[in-house]
Structure formats: structure tokens, C-alpha cells
Amino acid sequence: MDDLEVLTRISRQTFIDAFEKDNNPEDFKAYIDVAFSKEQIKTEILNPNSKFYLVFLDHKLVGYFKINENEAQAEPFGKDALELSRIYVLKPFQGKKLGGYILQKIISIAKSMKKTWLWLGVWQLNVNAVRFYERHGFAKFDTHSFYIGNDKQTDWLMRLDMV
């Protein structure tokens, strides 16, 4: 809870930087105001099946990620699966290979938790992210709907087997 303010701030900023330009302004603002409110982030922090990790480079906050297990997963994939719910790096630190480093840390965490597979949802129009995950061994296995305000979007569900 000590990191609530900073986590709320970086969550909002990285999501805005990544997706604001590609969405309807009214729908986007409505989504941000709910999904990244201090109250929502606090609820997520307090969920024992969700964990946030802040990422630092030279003692400077550069990003964060969130993982979900069990009932906290956006899809009911069971106890053997771990959801990578969020992975974001602040804009000035993108392109420095931090994403790959963070993803390796997440894979290590998943293995230490004895998970057999890691999965995530990525917006189908986020071509750079899809390529990033494919380069790291993830493959599309399904889709689900994701709403930004009233705008129904399609996320590709991608998985990486740990075995």
C-alpha cells in the first residue's frame, strides 16, 4: 500500500502513452477514470491473487508489471496458469531491451510458482506488442473482448508453456 500513489501514477501514464492516440477520447477517458483510479488500484493491490512489481533502473522507476493467479485471472484458466495482466515501461526507457528483461523475470516467477503456462491478452491492433511476445515464444490460442468505454476491442490471448 506504500506504493499506491506511484503505482496509480505510472499505471495511468503508461496506459495513456500506449493507447490514447488509438482510441475515442471520451471512451478512453471513461475507461482510464475507472480502471486506473486510486480506488481500483488499491482493490487490485489488496487482492491476494494479484501481485504488482515496480521496475527500477539505476534507482529510477522505469516500469511495472502485474501478474494474476487463480480467481484474479481475467479468464478462468485454473491453478496451473499465470496471467501476465500488465507489463509497461515508461516511454523514455522503451527501446532499451527492458521488456525482454522484465519478461524473463516474469517467466522465472511463474516457474518458481510451479505454473505450467503463462498467458496474456494483447490488443490485436498492437502489432509491436504481438511481435514482441511472438519473439519470446508466445503463441495465439484464443481471443476475448476488451472494452475501452463503449468501444469493444479484441484481444488476442497468447500463451507460453513452461514445460
Write out the catalytic residue numbers: 133
Report residue 24 as a C-alpha cell. Answer: 475515442
The span from the CA of 84 to the CA of 98, in Å, is 16
Q: How many Cα atoms sit within 13 Å of 162 on the Cβ side?
A: 19
Q: Look-up: residue for cell 490460442?
A: 141
Task: Give the three-state DSSP class for 116.
Answer: coil
